[in-house]
């Protein structure tokens, strides 16, 4: 089934024909922009097709004088939105995986509660042996499974600062363990 026929549910026949004409004339230019913007050849074809649908749903306005310039900006926006969507979907998958990991366990509810209490106890004692910011970074990293970037955002500091906090905190914990 032709692509133009598939798009008629989302856009008028005229808009689809207009998008097809634009792609006939500027298809190679659009592909070049996509390849430059993504640097991921696996996504290039998907983005090319996605941009056709975008153009069919929202045709180029009649007031546009420089079509190539308009296409460049529209393609760039499509690539950016696609990357953002991937990040959102990844976060959603990770959140779902975390929830599934918590809910799927072979322990009794009582032992799960005890284990959670023991973990909390360990992190509370850890906080007493480290400086406040180091303890916060170590807790976010190892209890809450946050990435360095996420920790930096939550703490309002640079990623290198978080790495420093983690390094110093772990060094201090190793010293304490060696004494015990």
Looking at 28, 61, 93, the residue that finishes a domain is 93
> CA–CA separation, 157 vs 137, rounded Å?
11
Looking at 93, 127, 158, the residue that finishes a domain is 93
In the chain, % of residues over pLDDT 90: 12
pLDDT, one tens digit per residue, over 9-65 is 445 677 788 888 888 989 899 888 888 888 777 788 888 888 888 888 888 888 988
What value does the mean pLDDT take over residues 122-134?
Answer: 82
User: Residues 6 or more apart from 132 whose CB is under 8 A from it?
Assistant: none
Alpha carbon of 145 to those of 99, 102, 117, 131, 141: distances in Å? 13, 13, 17, 20, 5
Burial of 138 from C-beta contacts in 10 A (0-12 / 13-18 / 19+): buried
Domain with 128, as residue range(s), is 109-179
Q: Does one domain contain both 173 and 135? A: yes
**What is the pLDDT, as a whole number, of residue 34?**
87
> CA–CA separation, 140 vs 159, rounded Å?
13
Q: Does one domain contain both 133 and 83? A: no
DSSP 147: -
pLDDT, one tens digit per residue, over 157-176 is 999 999 999 898 888 888 87
pLDDT of 100 > 60? The answer is: yes
DSSP 86-139: HHHHHHHHHHHHHHHHHH--SS-HHHHHHHHHHHHHHHHHHHHHS-HHHHHHHH
Locate tokens 């990435």: which residue? 147
Angle in degrees, 0-180, between the axes of helices 132-142 and 109-129, rounded to the nearest 10: 150
What value does the mean pLDDT take over residues 104-118?
Answer: 61
Q: What is the domain-level CATH number for residue 165?
A: 1.10.10.10
Residue 103 belongs to some domain of the structure: no
pLDDT of 112 > 90? The answer is: no
DSSP 12: -
**What is the pLDDT, as a whole number, of residue 107?**
56
**What is the pLDDT, as a whole number, of residue 150?**
92
């Amino acid at each position: 089934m032709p692509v133009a026929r598939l798009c008629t549910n989302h856009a008028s026949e005229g808009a689809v024909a207009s998008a097809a004409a634009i792609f006939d004339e500027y298809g190679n230019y659009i592909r070049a922009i996509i390849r430059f913007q993504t640097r991921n050849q696996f996504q290039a074809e998907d983005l090319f097709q996605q941009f056709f649908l975008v153009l069919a749903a929202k045709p180029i306005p009649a007031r546009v004088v420089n079509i190539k310039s308009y296409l460049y900006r529209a393609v760039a926006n499509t690539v950016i939105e696609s990357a953002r969507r991937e990040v959102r979907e990844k976060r959603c998958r990770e959140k779902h995986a975390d929830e599934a990991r918590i809910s799927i366990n072979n322990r009794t509810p009582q032992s799960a509660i005890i284990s959670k209490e023991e973990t909390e106890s360990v992190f509370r004692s850890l906080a007493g042996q480290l400086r406040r910011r180091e303890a916060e970074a170590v807790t976010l990293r190892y209890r809450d499974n946050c990435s360095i970037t996420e920790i930096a955002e939550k703490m309002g500091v640079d990623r290198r600062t978080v790495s420093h906090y983690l390094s110093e905190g772990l060094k201090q914990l190793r010293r304490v363990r060696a004494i015990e």
